[in-house]
Structure 1
Amino acid sequence: MQIVDALVECPVTESFRVRQLAGMFDVPLEDKLTRRFQVELPSEEDDWQVGMIVGDSGSGKSTVARAAYDHRLVQRFAWKRGQALIDGFGISLSTRTITQTLVAVGLSSPVVWCQPYHCLSTGQQFRADVARGMLSRRKLIAFDEFTSVVDRTSARFGSMALRRAIDRGQISKKLVAVTCHLDVIDWLRPDWVLDMTSGKLTRRCLRRPRLQLSIHRCSRDLWPLFASHHYLDGQLNPAARCYIGLVEGQPAVFAATLNNFRKNHLRISRLVTLPTYQGIGLGGRMLDELSQHLTNEGATHIHISGSHPAVVAHCNRSTRWEFRKLLKTGRQRSGIYSDNSHWKTSTGRAVATFRFVGGSESD
């Protein structure tokens, strides 16, 4: 444990109005206004990975965090305007490392990775800042005003994505979230919480909330909501059967299947998760639960081919999927693909193919 002693001094410049207010409200006018905060925090050598400092505005949480963590306390990073997001990270980092971290914090779109930071939504900027902090050389990073700039739905699921990545060992850095928003506690599941309102430090062991994902057959009319977030293009085959995954009654993930030229042989042709819900495993759950449902309905062969690191990682981890082949340069145009040049193929990029083998598996 460590004791943090922070002193805030604010010089007061005398004026007629200051004197007038002091007299009107009986305010003791001193040369300086002084406020001291003395709190206990876990030391960096203790066994923890995520901490939170919470409290109302003006409670001293940022002051204490600055005294405890100094230059490691950040709110936002500086990004070069016009530069692709992927180029805003340290030059010593590999592209693979950067993309894996972006996926881990729930920023999973290769299209977004190629856009400048200032073109991203506020929620996407928040996740980009978190990813950059997680890839810094510091062993500990503290985020001031954590989730304060995003809507509360994005705050919850962004926190959940971050904690999920930490639990899986994808992020090993110590993280301290400084915020006035208590709604993210259950989703970030910190190892300790310092409440500046009461001055109490508590240790916690919270269970991650279990999201209810309901899957329904849907029309292709819902595809435009997801099209721009697909990493290849916005086209949807006219013969596709479409499915929507709802979280709390709201569209979160979309999947489409196509007949694979044989009876009861299907392939997953589209799998897209909206940005707010990325990084929390919904795409993998949709893939597994939909495939199991289709198997129960009579499908004898279900496969998915893709390049997206999140899909490949899920199928590699899962016992429900069996790796079949890797095409290092993708599918070459032949047969009906040669006759339909407007059809998108995987030519020129590595593609992994997996087959659904079923079974049960906890996330």
Structure 2
Amino acid sequence: MPRLDLIKKTRVIRSPRVIQLEGMFDLPTEKTSRQQWAVDMPIEDDDWNVGLIVGPSGCGKTSIARECFKNEMVSDFNWFQQKSIIDSFPEEMGIKEITALLSSVGFSSPPNWLRPFHVLSNGEQFRVSIARALAELPGIVVIDEFTSVVDRTVARIGSFAVARTVRKREQKFVAISCHFDIIEWLDPDWIYFPATNQFQWRSERQSRPPVTLEIINVHRKAWELFRKHHYLDSTIQKSANCFVALMDGQPAAFTAVIHFPHRQSPSFREHRTVCLPDFQGIGIGNALSEYIASLYACRKKYTSVTGHPAMIQYRAKSKNWKMIRKPSVVSRQKGLEKNGKRSVASSHERITAGFLYCGPRREREAREFGLI
């Protein structure tokens, strides 16, 4: 994109209050308010996927973006008032493609996928809107006020998840923001600073800022904070041993473990793992799951059965897990009383995969948690 000289004029209506204001601050009498920018963004000089226009309020970010990306600025989408958010995605998209895209931008909560857009939190609306923009707009996707309506934890984590998705899909995405704290997480290929008319290419990819988690053993009552975000039912076994991962002192993810008393090969089994929506997109749930597995594997085999597509995909590629049952439908049998006799009924069927943990063991940490 070549150099652009942009002039924005606005008529000034000299009302009594405006005249008073001119007198109070000795402002010159003007018929028009004039703003001018000399913009130099050579984004056509190299290949890129993610760009960032960043600066304080009033520096001209939006005006410049509207001139440079006239047809790519994303406006508000129309969402069904009553139907699930997934029904608002393009009809030609399959359900697997929709859910994969939602998961990739850090919105990986199947129960919330069923809800209408207007009942979602600000953070969830932020992510699902970007997912829909990436699904519907084949050219450059330009988002104004990027991360402005979410807290800074969601902003940073969401920025990383969005940038990773854009690069994986080989699309082009431009964020317009007044927040400088997202730069390390978004890791853009180029940045433009309208306040100083500075443009810079960032040819070397940066690693994601480190995330420190504190893992604590908790009472199963902690499940109340997480249960509505789990993709299965909301129950938890009374015998479950529960753990929570804290990020910056805030609960982020939950894992529960139960003993599986098999006659020939007793083992431990992952019972529940869920990451809160605000913390999805950087692998916290998988990190907690593997850490707890590494503790229990010091004693016996540790297995997990999951039906979550993103977790199945992650574990299938991980060296720390061995798939012991490929994704398939298994009917769970449940005993029922009927006319004084036991009968057998099939419960809800879903696609799940079974995994055996085969990664490193953390014996020292297992002792600290009192597991061995």
When normalised by structure 1's length, the TM-score is 0.90
Q: Which moved more, 1:245-254 or 1:256-265?
A: 256-265
Amino acid at match of 1:191: D
Aligned mate of 1:289, from 282, 288, 291: 291
Q: State the secondary structure of the residue aligned to 2:70.
A: helix
SS at 2:112 equivalent: helix
Q: Which sits farther off after the overlay, 18-27 or 190-199?
A: 18-27
Q: Given the alignment of the two structures, is residue 232 of structure 1 paired with residue 237 of structure 2, yes or no? A: no
Matches within 5 A, 1:254-269: 254-262=254-262, 264-269=266-271
Against the structure 1 CA distance between its residues 91 and 30, is the aligned structure 2 distance closer, same or farther, given a 3 Å change threshold? same
Paired residues of 1:255 and 1:268 also in contact (CA < 8 A): yes
Which position in structure 1 is the counterpart of 2:332?
332
Contact in 2 for aligned 1:85/1:113 (Cα 8 Å): yes
2:177 match? 179
Question: C-alpha displacement at 1:253, in angstroms?
Answer: 0.8
Q: Is the 8 A contact 1:330 1:347 kept in 2?
A: no
Cα gap change, 1:15 to 1:164, in 2 (>3 Å): closer
**Could you tell me which residue of structure 2 aligns to residue 155 of structure 1?**
155
Task: Write the distance in 1 (CA, Å) between the matches of 2:47 and 2:6.
Answer: 24
State percent identity of aligned pairs: 36
Is residue 275 from structure 1 mapped to residue 277 from structure 2 by the alignment?
yes
Kindly state the Cα deviation for residue 40 of structure 1 after the two structures are TM-superposed: 1.6
> What is the CA distance between 1:331 and its match in structure 2?
2.7
Could you tell me which amino acid in structure 2 is paired with residue 338 of structure 1? G
- TM-score w.r.t. structure 2 length? 0.88
Q: Is the 8 A contact 1:164 1:280 kept in 2?
A: no
Please give the alpha-carbon distance, in whole angstroms, between the structure 1 residues aligned to 2:158 and 2:187.
12
The gaps in structure 1 that reach 5 residues or longer are: none
Question: Kindly tell me: are residues 157 and 271 of structure 1, through their superposed partners in 2, closer, same or farther at Cα, counting changes over 3 Å?
Answer: same
Structure 1 residues 139-198: Cα deviation after superposition (integer angstroms, max 9, x where no partner) = 21011000101111111111122233345x2x3211111011111111111111111222
- Within 5 Å, which residues of 2 pair with 1:38-57? 38-44=38-44, 46-57=46-57
1:351 paired to 2:352: yes
* Cα separation, 2, equivalents of 1:287 and 1:67: 47
The structure-2 alpha-carbon separation of the partners of 1:128 and 1:346, relative to structure 1 and needing over 3 Å to count, comes to farther
Tell me how many residue pairs correspond in the alignment. 351
The answer to whether the 8 Å contact 1:112/1:120 transfers is yes
Supply the RMSD in Å over aligned alpha carbons. Answer: 2.3
Equivalent position of 2:34 in the other structure: 34
Q: Does the Cα contact within 8 Å between 1:50 and 1:191 map onto a contact in 2?
A: yes
8 Å CA contact retained: 1:319, 1:359? no
1:253 maps to which residue?
Answer: 253
Amino acid paired to 1:268:
E
Q: Name the SS for the 2:350 alignment partner.
A: coil
**Partners of 2:229 and 2:347 in 1: CA distance:** 18
Give the AA of the match of 1:279: G
User: What is the CA-CA distance between 1:113 and the residue it aligns to?
Assistant: 0.8
Return the alpha-carbon distance in structure 1 between the equivalents of residues 134 and 327 of structure 2.
32
Does the C-alpha gap of structure 1 residues 95 and 309 become closer, same or farther in structure 2, counting only changes over 3 Å?
same
The 1:239–1:31 alpha-carbon spacing in structure 2 relative to 1, beyond 3 Å, is same
Deviation at 1:20, TM superposition (A): 4.2
What do residues 235-285 of structure 1 show as CA deviations (whole Å, max 9, x unaligned)? 001111111112122211111111122365111110000111111111111
Q: Tell me, in whole angstroms, the C-alpha distance in 2 between the residues paired with 1:138 and 1:244.
A: 40
**Aligned-partner SS, 2:330:** coil
Name 1:193's counterpart in structure 2: 191
- Report how far residue 71 of structure 1 moved: 2.6
